Structure 1
């Protein structure tokens, strides 16, 4: 007999991971998604995403990453496919920024490998990188690329085979957190619990986080490198350029994906129901930063300019907002690109709270990265 029924609103990585964790605990789960499943308009729907240990001032998330990697391994074993390309991650620093000291402290405490790359060696190892203005280059061992479309697809197939019910093209318009009720396409559905994991649409369904998070229209570009650099790009690790003007992250082509570049500057504007057509204004800052990071960037062919929507905090904290709402609901809101890295772990934590394995207060603090390394062992759910 099921331990109870749960409605999950949203079929991105947060929603599907929560459904996966609830299903493993014996709950009867239904997933509602406003589009197809997986949904190409979802923030989670992408060719590849970075995962890593290094988190700068967000040390609490660095300390969560060993658990996050382990939860992905558990998920991959469950779905029967490993959608993770392990890779070093190299950081190029161009100004004095606050990233280095807390990162090295966290990596040291975690026993994760890292080393400085002598600046004199950068040009030889990474001839595509502009070396003028570099102040430091740091190579870290633990990281790589996740392949979201494949993860979402395999997770959907696995959950369907295990009895999870999917309601595709079912837009939720109303949630009653006291009654455990949602209204989708004009029809009422009830459960013992409701989890809202609606990404950039979260504020359309609940006022709980309206003062905390906001949708952010973000641009990325997919590129074809100059022919003489194509083989090198297929072999280099993930590259992150960190500067006040130049900040970019770059995922090299792997397993049939394209070279992808984005930035980490949040617009904190836009409507998630809007278009996904990137304009010149959308990519202006990204193109400028890319020219500062890479030599002869204008020789790279643009294959696609894409818009996605993150949910980000109104301040600069970049923390997950995971909170109970009323008697029967939880709201799960990722922050920026952390969402995919930590999605299965956060989903498991919410499922643990619903199952009574962890308190609501502890779950919210844990998901916000507010627990120190010493606290995390006691806070880990018994999944």
Structure 2
């Protein structure tokens, strides 16, 4: 498509990245967000998120990560600041799984270090770990933490400065992906194409995603560790616990963030407009998993229990594709969308600009390209 006007619905990482990619290619861009920009209820909005090359049996996403890091580096250059803290990701395995062999293979092919650590050495290095049931410890490079709130805030300023017209607090009532229009309370806006990156609200705008991209209420807890472990946690890497009854990920308190723990078991239920305060029911499973992962977990102070929402497909793959004659769907969520959000947004923008094949976009974004 020659440069025209593109309407982007959704101001999370996928929408902001798509708008950035489009405006750099000469398109006029208008971006609509139902709340403030950045929006505190967006799936993207968080203190810190993991980025990594290790992906287990989802090897297609592992092979997208070098390209994703290149786009992140381009973004840091554009922002003039880097909101990324490189550090290893250490995996505590409780029992055997296919994760190890597939990760070892993909990391080797990419030339990214993936190293076994003796259990004794790991327990000495990470005194917060519950050693019961640990069968293998693996350290991977090419990982670290992203700081989403800072990233989103700076991206809003960046794209506004490049000429993107921003419509915060503008709930999109409907989209017409044949006509290329967006309707809000202010009226109808016409574009040459519409890109819907509405996260957990996508079903309301694109009914064909209902039952496919399923909103999923997820809980995380922000913690204060016992004083005796504060130094160990501040020096810790990203720690991920893999086991049949665990599956937690923990991000250390760095750069003004709090210690955070979450898990990878999707609820696949809930309404994204619900209150985001974590309930007892939200954290019941997470608390049980945390007690298995960390010694004396009940000595930690829970600072905040928070619920967030993702959209999750059955196979945790992204839905990125053409919708109608003038529409595009960018549903890159499923819990691992933030780290790949800028790459997916760049891919959508490049496809609209005719730089890449529209027919293969969905395969590429689903991590099935080869």
Coarse TM-score class (shorter-chain normalised): over 0.9
Cα pair 2:312 2:335 within 8 Å, conserved: no
Name which of 343, 354, 357 aligns with 1:356: 354
Q: Cα deviation per residue 1:41-93 (whole Å; 9 max; x = unaligned)?
A: 11111000000000001000000000001100100100111000001000000
1:35-54 alignment runs, 5 A limit? 35-54=35-54
**Pair 1:99-2:95 in alignment:** no
Question: Which deviations, in whole Å up to 9, do the C-alpha atoms of 1:235-268 show, x marking residues without a partner?
Answer: 1100000011111000001110000000000000
Write the deviation string for residues 97-147 of structure 1: whole angstroms up to 9, x where unpaired: 221111111000000011101112121011100111011100001100000
Root-mean-square deviation (Å): 0.9
1:224 aligns with 2:231: no
Deviation sequence 1:131-179 (CA, Å, 0-9, x none): 1101110000110000000000001001111111000100001110010
Q: How many residues matched?
A: 369
Q: Secondary structure at the match of 1:208?
A: helix
Deviation of 1:233 after TM superposition, in Å, equals 0.6
Q: Distance in 2 between matches of 1:294 and 1:100?
A: 22
Q: 2:320 aligns with which of 309, 319, 322?
A: 322
1:78-157 pair list within 5 angstroms: 78-157=78-157
Indicate if the aligned counterparts of 1:208 and 1:325 stay in contact, CA closer than 8 A: no
* Structure 2 Cα separation of the partners of residues 39 and 76 of structure 1: 21
Instruction: Give SS of 1:14's match.
Output: helix
Unaligned ranges ≥5, structure 2 = none
Partner SS for 2:182: strand
Partner Cα separation in structure 2 for residue 218 and residue 364 of structure 1:
26
Superposition pairs of residues 199-348 of structure 1, within 5 angstroms:
199-313=199-313, 315=314, 317-348=315-346
Maintained 8 Å contact 1:320/1:368: yes
Normalising by structure 1, we get a TM-score of 0.95
Bigger mean CA deviation after superposition, 9-18 or 177-186: 177-186
Contact 1:215 1:311 survives alignment (8 Å): yes
The residue number in structure 2 matching 1:380 is none
TM-superposed CA distance for 1:186, in Å, is: 4.9
Q: Which residue in the other structure is 1:181 paired with?
A: 181
CA distance in 2, matches of 1:73, 1:337: 22
Name 2:366's counterpart in structure 1.
368
Tell me how far apart the structure 1 counterparts of residues 318 and 83 of structure 2 sit (CA, whole Å).
24
- 4+ residue segments displaced more than 3 Å: none
- Unaligned stretches of 5+ residues in structure 1: 373-383
Query: Contact 1:122/1:131 (CA < 8 Å) preserved in 2?
Result: no
**Partner in structure 2 of residue 23 of structure 1:** 23
Q: For residue 197 of structure 2, what is the aligned residue in structure 1?
A: 197
| Residue of structure 2 equivalent to 1:8 | 8
Local SS of the residue matching 1:61: helix
